Amino acid sequence: MNLLEVRDLYVKYRSYWYTYHVLDGITLRVSPREKVGLIGESGAGKTTLLKSILQILPPQGRIVRGEVLWKGVDLLKADKGYVMNVRRKGIGMIFQDPLSALNPVFKIKDQLLEVLRYSYDGYSKSELLSLAEELIRSVLLPDPARVLESYPFQLSGGMRQRVVIAMALASAGDLLLADEPTTNLDVTIQDQILRLIDRLVIERGLSMILVSHALGVVAKMTHRVYTMYAGNIVEEAPTPKLFNEPLHPYTKLLIENVPRISSRRLGEGIKGNPPDYRYPPPGCRFHPRCPYAVDICKKVKPFCVKVSRDRRVACHMYSEGLEKVDGDVNAN
């Protein structure tokens, strides 16, 4: 059985006058002990998706319809207590902005203890404190004692990032949602942290959804990758295949634009901007920026087709003669 399955999820943000149709029918699944990557431009709705899973969207956000199945239970219909319990003990999330997850006026110690108190009820304060120190050490921070006594601004960006990782690990029982976990870290620490996360995932039997703009990290860390564009999943493939031979035009462009260490050549960026979510383009949401767009792309939304045993893509170029598939049809 899948650990987490998201089916046909629609999420919008409402302001007083406008409605932003952000997530547009997301379907994805995560098996136990599986590491899944999620890539896509800024504004594609990746954070929105992760927040919807935990139901911690800002007040303007609304889940329109869809299902979020956690071990078979639909979290959107489950009662508050259950969801709270999943948040505290089942799913841990590493937030994207390390500072907004940390309150500037409290010491790291107090904030970490706050989180630990929920995940380890019945522990005494001193036990929690040593747990906290343990956690800080486990994310390779030197001087756990100094870090615990510091306020967020006294730590370097990378140190704060690792504090946030430590906090997320405290509440991840089954699944870790990592939203840009290593952006502020240098590569050697990144490498160590990634190996650490890898080890924890194996030791504790965790699964993970990894969101990152550093495609190299995704390539190295995950089994399977979803490409997301403007609230749609446009491609799904096992990691090596996706990076070495991407199918969807968007994935191709994305990969071409990564600055490489193997060559001295900068990409041009993808022309145009992500769509205005108030009036998303009809048909394929990518068509205004797609170099291969033809007439049908402007009118009909491409559905997900299975192009080979383990690859799916939502693009008219590949859809001829193939049948529509849904997320739950092809569990491996």
Partner 1 sequence: MTSRDLSTIARKEREVRLENLKRAWFRFSRNRLAVAGLIILTTVVVMALSAEYVTPYPSHAGLYINFEERYQPPNPKHVLGTDMYGRDVFTRVVFGFRYALMMVGVVLGIVVPAGTVLGLLAGYYKGTLIDHAINGASEVFVAVPPLVLALAICSILEPNVFNALLAITLMWWPWYARMVYSMTSSLRNEPYVWAAKALGMRTVDILFRELLPNMLGPILTKATLDASWVVIIGASISFVGLGAQPPTPDLGTMLSEYCRYLPAYWWMTLGPLLGIIVLVLSFNLIGDGLRDVFAGE
Partner 2 sequence: MVEDLKKYFRTPRGIVKAVDGITFSMDLGETLALVGESGSGKTTTAHVIMGFYTPTEGLVTYKGIDIGIPVEKRPLWLKREIQIVFQDPATSLNPKNTVKDILDAALRVHASGTKLERLNKMLELMNYLGLPEEHLFKRPTELGGGEKQLVALARALAVDPDFIILDEPTSALDVSAQSKVLKTLSRIQRDRRVSYLLITHDLGVVRNISNRVIVMYLGKICEESETDELFSKPLHPYTQMLLSSVPAMTKEDEKVLPVRIESRGEIPSAINPPPGCRFHTRCPFAMEICRREEPPACNAGASSHVVRCWLYSSRTRV
Ligand X SMILES: Nc1ncnc2c1ncn2[C@@H]1O[C@H](COP(=O)(O)OP(=O)(O)OP(=O)(O)O)[C@@H](O)[C@H]1O
Name the residue nearer to partner 2 (CB basis): 44 or 75: 44
Segment interacting with partner 1 (CB under 8 A) among 12-20, 161-169, 271-279, 296-304: 12-20
Residue 14 contact partner, candidates partner 1, partner 2, Mg ion, none, CB within 5 to 8 A by sort of partner: none
**Pairwise CA distance, residues 195 & 220, whole Å:** 10
Work out whether 16 is an interface residue with partner 1 (CB under 8 A). Answer: yes
Site string for partner 1, 47-76 (x = CB under 8 A): ------------x-----------------
Work out whether 103 is an interface residue with partner 2 (CB under 8 A). Answer: no
Task: Pick the binder of partner 2 from 124, 126, 156, 332 (CB under 8 A).
Answer: 156
Segment interacting with ligand X (CB under 6 A) among 67-75, 98-106, 155-163, 196-204: 155-163
Cβ partners under 8 Å of residue 230, min gap 6: 24, 43, 44, 45, 274, 275, 277, 280, 285, 286
Report, in angstroms and rounded to the nearest whole number, the Rg of the chain calculated over CA atoms.
20
**Pairwise CA distance, residues 228 & 12, whole Å:** 16
Name the residue nearer to partner 1 (CB basis): 56 or 329: 56
List the alpha helices (DSSP H) in the chain: 46-54, 80-85, 108-119, 125-138, 144-149, 157-171, 187-203, 215-221, 239-244, 249-256, 295-299, 316-319
Tokens 């860390």 belong to which residue? 221
Burial of residue 188 (number of CB atoms within 10 Å: 0-12, 13-18, 19+): exposed
Pick out residues in 122-151 that bind partner 2 (CB under 8 A). Answer: 140-143, 145-146, 149-150
Torsion region of 319: left, alpha or beta (phi above 0 gives left; psi -120 to 50 gives alpha): alpha
Residue 254 contact partner, candidates ligand X, partner 2, Mg ion, none, CB within 5 to 8 A by sort of partner: partner 2
**Closest residue to ligand X using C-beta atoms:** 158
**Pairwise CA distance, residues 163 & 98, whole Å:** 8
Residues that bind partner 2 (CB under 8 A): 40-43, 96-100, 140-143, 145-146, 149-150, 154, 156-159, 161, 180, 183-192, 194, 213-217, 219-221, 243-244, 253-255, 257-270, 273, 276
Q: Which residues bind ligand X (CB under 6 A)?
A: 13, 20, 22, 42-48, 58, 60, 96, 154-159, 184, 186, 277
